[in-house]
Amino acid sequence: MKIVVIEDEDNTRSGIIKLIGKLGSAYEVIGEADNGISGISLIEELRPDLVIADIKMPQATGIEMLQQLKERGHRHKTVILTGFSEYEYARKALQLGVFEFLEKPITAEDLRTTLEKVQEELSFQSAAGMPAGNAAAQAEQLLQLLLARDDIDRPLLSTYIGQGMSLKENLPLYLVTVYLGKQFNDVAVETMLPLISSLLKPFGRQAVCSVVQDQSLAALVQPDQENRELQRYIEEVLLPAVRNIDSTAVISFSELDEISRLKPSFDQLAEWRKWFIAVENDTAILNERLVDRLQLERRVLSYPSTIENKLKMAVSAQAPDEAAKCLNHWLDICQAGVYDPQHIIDASVRLVTAMLQTVSDLYGERIAFDYQQEWLHPILSSQTREELQSAFAVIARQLAAIRPASNPVPYSMIVQKTVRILQEKYTDGVTLEEIAAELHITPEYLSGLFTRETGRNFTAFLKEHRIRKAKELLLESGLKMFEIAQRVGYPDPKYFSRVFKEMTGLSPAEYQKLNRG
């Protein structure tokens, strides 16, 4: 640890330096000064890890020195030397991120304890990968850590962020998220991050970071005046600029009690964000007050059985334009009132699943399985009305592109027998090798023939058959989940659930809930 000592009393200064030398080779005094002005120049030149400074010095006090250094972006640890009568004055140093106060005369034990604390925090910062830049850059990286990781000391990192941003206790604190969704990429982040940061600076203190797993940007904001209204500032300044770059971006914000509650507040905003599915397209700002109002105004959403029937008839008639009209009609219903967004998603999944069954009946199971994940996942992950509309537009476009096979070639006798044996023994863990032995051919020959004629390998065909049977049991039987898993050849219910979700985009329970009744 590199240390600079700034003290106008020569004896005190030399005494501290000698004490440090005796405490171990881990501590190195690399410079000293006898006044605040010289101290500023020395610190800028040497960039120490720790500054030990007297609170009262000629030319510039310790407080004035720290203030200037902080404005220039220095992020070293600081220990202030003070007399008992100076404690009231020393409170001002707290806002400047002072690490510790040591009362004169200093003892070796007090100094040892303080240096060990500083070393521990420096080691923690290094392990956390904090930048070597200024305090603002450090606050932004710590903000990202708080939102991305669980294995961290949240109270400690929150303290660092508060110090780096010079947050004040008497002013409100807000979390703002800008959701970019599919537009989230390196180029968008590089453009949007500095824009948001520059736009929020006139409002007050701010730190902005990207949150990859949420496809959003997050900003911790504190106004420079108590009566500044964040929503109006977002509406008038931030939103127009953000929408100029990304017309689908939406913004959410909430007030924070303390920084350590940042992650739960962020998760809450992400959960609330689905309400953008249920509000008008021009509503691009969401907060707790609006969510509360929407929950009070929400209406019951009935499942569109009539639309489902028309949709299946359109698919059966190979009329993709009519199918697209059915999907758009459903979207119009969802937008005609305030409905719980999760109910909209659940009903949409059920509707598309019913349509997929008709696709399977008409064009074959393989095509339905190919589209299942591609159609359902975007619906399940929709966060805004635009994303849900986009998901349905993709479905309509791909449905129009499906063509039935002309003059389909029937399976050879060997493959027909393989399929029949598979369908009879799929619950028993039947293998390709067993069927090949029963048919008196080699597994290699059967594998190649089966793949060429069916368009997928034996394992994929068997998995599809099992999942199709599982769907039937989920909807038509009263069996428990583990019983269904065993019935279709999966002794391990957890593995069955994982395979089912990989194939359908839904867990067995979700599929049953959305499609039964």
Residue 113, pLDDT > 50, answer: yes
What is the model's pLDDT at position 271? 92
Q: Tens digits of per-residue pLDDT, 89-101?
A: 555 555 455 677 7
Whether omega for the bond prior to residue 105 falls within 30 degrees of 0, making it cis, is yes
What is the model's pLDDT at position 182? 87
- Please identify, among 246, 277, 295, the residue that sits at the C-terminal boundary of a domain: 295
Residue 95 lies in a domain: yes
Q: Are residues 147 and 285 in the same domain?
A: yes
**The 204-211 sheet, strands edge to edge:** 204-211, 216-223, 173-179, 250-256, 285-286
What is the model's pLDDT at position 133? 46
Over range 245-266, report the average pLDDT. Answer: 91
Q: Are residues 84 and 213 in the same domain?
A: no
Domain span at 90: 2-127
**Alpha-carbon span 203 to 221, nearest angstrom:** 8
Contact 182, 387 (CB under 8 A): yes
Over range 426-435, report the average pLDDT. Answer: 90
Q: What is the CATH number of the domain that holds 12?
A: 3.40.50.2300
**Alpha-carbon span 369 to 460, nearest angstrom:** 10
User: Mind giving me the DSSP string for 84-134?
Assistant: GGGHHHHHHHHTTT--EEEESSPPHHHHHHHHHHHHHHHHHHHHTT--SS-
Residue type, 113: T
Q: Are residues 145 and 279 in the same domain?
A: yes
For the ranges 33-42, 110-119, 377-386, the maximum mean pLDDT occurs at 377-386
| DSSP-derived 3-state class of residue 81 | strand
> Dihedral through CA 136, CA 138, CA 142, CA 143, nearest 10?
20
Listed in sequence order, the residues at least 6 apart from 488 whose beta carbon sits closer than 8 Å to its beta carbon are: 426, 427, 466, 467, 469, 470, 473, 496
* Average pLDDT of the residues of the chain: 86
Q: Are residues 486 and 423 in the same domain?
A: yes
Q: Tens digits of per-residue pLDDT, 358-417?
A: 888 777 777 888 888 889 999 999 999 999 999 999 999 999 888 765 545 567 888 888
Share of the chain above pLDDT 70, in %: 91
Q: Are residues 245 and 327 in the same domain?
A: no
What is the model's pLDDT at position 458? 93
Residue type, 184: F
Residue 422 lies in a domain: yes
Residue 70 lies in a domain: yes
Q: Are residues 139 and 261 in the same domain?
A: yes
Residue 329, pLDDT > 60, answer: yes
Residue 3, pLDDT > 90, answer: yes
- Please identify, among 72, 94, 127, the residue that sits at the C-terminal boundary of a domain: 127
Share of the chain above pLDDT 90, in %: 45
**Alpha-carbon span 236 to 234, nearest angstrom:** 6
Residue 406 lies in a domain: no
Q: Are residues 291 and 312 in the same domain?
A: no
**Alpha-carbon span 213 to 234, nearest angstrom:** 24
Helix axes 341-363, 508-515, angle to 10 degrees: 90
What is the model's pLDDT at position 405? 55
Q: Which residue has the higher pLDDT, 339 or 64?
A: 339
Neighbours of 58 (CB within 10 A): 11
Q: Exposed, middle or buried by CB within 10 Å (0-12, 13-18, 19+), for 414?
A: middle
